[in-house]
Amino acid sequence: MIESFPGRPAHLIWGNLKEFPGINDEGLKFQREQTGLFPKVSCGWLGPFLPMLFVYHPETTKIVLKSSEPKSHNAYRLIEPWIGTGLLVANGGKWKRNRRLLTPAFHFDVLKNYQLIMNKTSDILLTKLENYAETGEIFEVFSNISMFTLDTMLQSAFAYEIDCQTTGENHPYVVAVHELVELVTERFLKPWLHNDLIYLLTTDGRKFKKHCDFVHKVAEDIISKRRKAIKKEAKGYSQKKSLDFLDILLSARDENNQGLTDLEIRNEADTFLFEGHDTTASALSWALYSLAEHPEIQKKLQAEVDEVLKGRDSDEILWEDLPKLQYTTMCLKEAMRLHTPVPFIQRELTEPMELDGHEAPAGTQISIMLYNCHHNPLVWPNSMDYIPERFLPENVEKRDAYAFIPFSAGPRNCIGQQFALHEMKTVLAKIFRRYSLELDPTHKVEKYETLVMRSQTGIKMKAYRR
């Protein structure tokens, strides 16, 4: 039974909700303490009627993630009005079919064709950094990086150019997604707002609907323009050497020769636009933060990039350069461990499951706490320290494969993880080839744990030409 799992005592009405300090630095400290008290699994109550198991050790996360148990309906239905039942939310046969149809979009041959675009969008970001370096202006990292990742996603996966990096501080799509993420997170922590009718009567509910309508329109405009282009240049499109993500969405057929419906296409476009720009922006922003915080590590990364590009006239990062950026990759992975761009994911049991000697009944809600996994003292000593050498091959070999899971793991791992890694390595190498970064010492960074890890106060730094 669920009561047999270890956990803090729960209040009769509030459960454990009032113990949680909030989605901030204090809340993250609470989570780390929870992991120390109950190292593999614990039970908590969101009010009087909603128990939840929290897992954060390779032995327990592995059991859940390797299973075919579906995403939690209670949790993920809150984002369905936004991204529908795309790959992130879908379960069962629908998920298997769509995953199979979309896998070709992430083949290495397709990703290789995006490398030129990743260099191009990185160069636009570097132009902005050059201006900051010349003027000595302190700049905010998240807003600039979010526009870079959105630009990269739109140009590579959707062949859609809107010049979003040069249109000002924040593109309306980026603003809408940020607010949607915050609204969903806040609603999840307030069980009395889980009812759709009640939620839509609130100010937040109306704001949520407005932002959903806006992001849907963006996706529909992108799809509509591509369809018109295909119709206008039918012969040219049929002879394209490579297809991008949207091409594959529009042309995919299953074993019954059935394609995706218009709604399914929009759902997958909305899902990939969110997952492909917002979570990547978080990972990149925190990587820049950690590297700016540790100048000695930053110098080692710069030395590696200099060695890879030695003797070249251009700073372009080629496809074949990516495997050579080993220390850069270690720095990136350690930042994803320390800061964990996606802090948690959810599952719901359809049958009993044994976890750490206790049986969880069917219907149990399980939260895989990726942030806690990456700070579990049994796996990661001195977990709050930034140590890229944790990811040296000999150290990785000593750890369970489920110790580090920023892209989830098992059959439902992130389909776009290689796209994200290639993009992040490319832009990190290009930034540090040309600049050194330094944090603004007067600015306090405060984490904000929504569906995506952010800073409530932003991240501010200065760039210096090398």
Higher-scoring residue by pLDDT: 259, 430: 430
Distance, CA of 215 to CA of 213 (rounded, Å): 6
Looking at residue 434, its pLDDT comes to 98
Q: Which of 11-20, 193-202, 321-330 has the least mean pLDDT? A: 11-20
Convert the pLDDT of each residue in 91-105 to its tens digit: 999 999 999 999 999
Query: How many CB atoms are closer than 10 A to CB 424?
Result: 23
With tokens 């969903």, the residue in question is 184
CA angle 232, 237, 241 (to 5 degrees): 160
Average pLDDT, the chain: 94
DSSP-derived 3-state class of residue 452: coil
Residue stretches of the annotated binding site: 414
pTM value?
0.94
Domains, the chain: 2-465 (1.10.630.10)
Looking at residue 75, its pLDDT comes to 85
Residue 461 backbone dihedrals phi, psi, to 5 degrees: -155, 175
Residue 360, phi-psi category: left (phi > 0), alpha (psi -120 to 50), beta (remainder): beta
Burial of residue 105 (CB within 10 Å: 0-12, 13-18, 19+) is buried
Distance, CA of 148 to CA of 125 (rounded, Å): 7
Higher-scoring residue by pLDDT: 242, 183: 183
Residue 309 backbone dihedrals phi, psi, to 5 degrees: -95, 5
Distance, CA of 399 to CA of 379 (rounded, Å): 8
Q: Which of 68-82, 109-123, 220-234, 328-342 has the least mean pLDDT? A: 220-234
Convert the pLDDT of each residue in 317-336 to its tens digit: 999 999 999 999 999 999 99
Read off the pLDDT of each residue in 349-374 and give the average, rounded to a whole number: 96
| pLDDT at 237 > cutoff 60 | no
Residue 257, phi-psi category: left (phi > 0), alpha (psi -120 to 50), beta (remainder): left
Q: What percentage of the chain has pLDDT greater than the value 70? A: 98
Name the band, by pLDDT with cuts 50, 70 and 90, for residue 393: very high
Distance, CA of 169 to CA of 342 (rounded, Å): 24
Distance, CA of 343 to CA of 375 (rounded, Å): 11
Residue stretches of the annotated binding site for heme: 414
| pLDDT at 51 > cutoff 60 | yes
Residue type, 57: H
Looking at residue 3, its pLDDT comes to 87
Residue 410 CA from chain centroid, whole number: 17
| pLDDT at 281 > cutoff 90 | yes
Looking at residue 189, its pLDDT comes to 85
Looking at residue 234, its pLDDT comes to 66
